[in-house]
Amino acid sequence: MGIKLFVGNLSHETTEEQLSTLFSEAGAVSSAKIITDRHTGQPRGFGFVEMETKLDGQKAISMFNGRNLDGRPLAVNEARPQQKGGFGGGRRGGYR
């Protein structure tokens, strides 16, 4: 069973390929995704890396949390489960 890692404090120049290559030093990488702003397409400064095993994920956390990449110290930890419902749901204002 794999593990999904949150990777924060990414430089806007960092690519998904660089992220995947770096994390492959700790073990097998299933995927690497940098999150972008849906309106501008610009990177938001964080992403997710999926490692094939929990052991590889724990190794990646210890190896890369605080390590510099493109001049910035990475923040790496286990990703929290994605919450359902988006922005809180409910009715939008103005309609009665």
What's the CA gap between 54 and 75, in Å, rounded? Answer: 18
CB 9 within 8 A of CB 46: yes
> Does any domain span residue 89?
no
Cβ(5)–Cβ(61) below 8 Å = yes
Residue 30: domain span? 3-78
pLDDT in 10s for each residue of the chain, 96 residues = 799 999 999 999 999 999 999 999 999 999 999 999 999 999 999 999 999 999 999 999 999 999 999 999 999 999 998 777 655 555 555 554
Does residue 93 fall inside a structural domain? no
Instruction: Kindly report the CATH number assigned to the domain that includes residue 53.
Output: 3.30.70.330
pTM of the predicted protein model: 0.84
